[in-house]
Amino acid sequence: MNATGRIATLLGLTGVAIASHGATATFESDKATFQLETVAEGLEHPWGLAFLPDGSQLVTERNGQLRHIENGQLDDSPIQGLPELAVSGQGGLLDIILHPEFEQNRTLFLSYAHKVSREGLTTRVARATLRDDRLEDVTVIFEAMPRGTTSRHFAGRMAFDAEGNLYVAVGDRGEMDRAQKTDDDAGGVHRITVDGEPAAGNPFLDDSAVNDSFFTYGNRNIQGMTVHPETGEIWSHEHGPRGGDEINIIRAGNNYGWPKVTYGIDYSGATITDRTTMEGVTDPLHYWDPSIAPSGMAFYTGEAFPQWSGDLFVGALKMQKLVRLSIENEKVTEEEDLLEDLGERIRDVRMGPDGALWLLTDSSEGKVYRVVPAR
């Protein structure tokens, strides 16, 4: 790793060392004044972020590289030993999540697109052990079947629940009707063990018409997933077509309706359905029309911004902003758009162990930012 003259700031409460490349202009919100600190830059379409116990970070790049950032320095050499993957359209190396006991077992999980020439593309998840700058014992634990010929809607976001079950989002692969086919892994959230088996208590284990790993279905293309800090439930958001982006609480057995119901229309302008709700499907907690193309989400639980405590933050690709939502009793009571003047597509939003929000920007010169109180 190349040395620089950047000064590392030691955050005493967490023991996380961060080297700042300098803060941007000051930003005002309804509840706080903040700045962005650039932690790292020069990343190729960064997609997912994980925090290692030593305070450094791992970042996935969609082009198929896993990068290490330590004290604000991006290691020139990518992590070696990644699984075979395909970089095609919206697919590539996607999300990363650490095993709940990573500090003891050094195990992590990667989601990514994979291709077999005759059968096409799909979303896969691999488990691996991180040893220094290399992945070892790489094992594929989940593969959405059947494959498809499009290079769209891989989803790939992941989250762990309190019982150690892994939730994996799979998109409809750009073929909308697949989201209602429960013998087809596309268009839903799958709950599995760390070995890839359907988790105990999955809602469809006794239903031969539904694949055992399904936890929910009728999801179009989930691009954000996080755990509620109080209830422990998994929250997600997903892209609609032209309009109809949704926030949902992922609950066992629910059908979220795509494409039977939607607040959006087809990209061609054609009507997909005239229904926004119907019996047997779960209405979204919140939706956007027109679409903001949400990506990444996190609840704020730190101490740096007590006025944001419990608020949900969502990145936006198309609209190039960060959205803050105040939520009470599963209803949005306040919505505020932030960073609209930044001119950056926000790909991921994470709550950092240092009490700051962390952001990834989606470009060929992507950045890692920290949202910090204004000095």
List beta partners, residue 16. 11
Confidence at residue 12, expressed as pLDDT on a 0 to 100 scale = 31
Confidence at residue 375, expressed as pLDDT on a 0 to 100 scale = 87
Arithmetic mean of pLDDT, 313-325: 98
Residue 1 forms part of a structural domain: no
Give the separation between CA 123 and CA 328, rounded to whole angstroms.
34
Question: Domain limits at 211?
Answer: 8-373
With a CB cutoff of 8 Å and minimum separation 6, the contacts of 263 are: 240, 243, 244, 246, 276, 287, 289
Per-residue pLDDT tens over the stretch 253-298: 999 999 999 999 999 999 999 999 999 999 999 999 999 999 999 9
Give the separation between CA 47 and CA 360, rounded to whole angstroms.
7
Residue 2 forms part of a structural domain: no
- H or E stretch including 12? none
Residue 162 forms part of a structural domain: yes
The CATH number of whichever domain residue 340 belongs to comes to 2.120.10.30
Is the distance from CB of 240 to CB of 251 less than 8 angstroms?
Answer: no
Q: Has residue 181 got a pLDDT over 50?
A: yes
Residue 264 forms part of a structural domain: yes
Confidence at residue 19, expressed as pLDDT on a 0 to 100 scale = 53
Q: Which residues are catalytic?
A: 153
Per-residue pLDDT tens over the stretch 48-107: 999 999 999 999 999 999 999 999 999 999 999 999 999 999 999 999 999 999 999 999
Confidence at residue 270, expressed as pLDDT on a 0 to 100 scale = 97
Per-residue pLDDT tens over the stretch 12-35: 333 344 555 667 789 999 999 999
Residue 234 forms part of a structural domain: yes
Residue 37 forms part of a structural domain: yes
Buried/exposed code over 153-173 (b: 16+ C-beta within 10 A; e: otherwise) = bbbbbbbbbeeebbbbbbbbb
pTM over 0.85: yes
Per-residue pLDDT tens over the stretch 210-254: 999 999 999 999 999 999 999 999 999 999 999 999 999 999 999
Total structural domains in the chain? 1
Residue 14 forms part of a structural domain: yes
Residue 171 backbone phi and psi in degrees, to 5 = -80, 175
Residue 51 forms part of a structural domain: yes
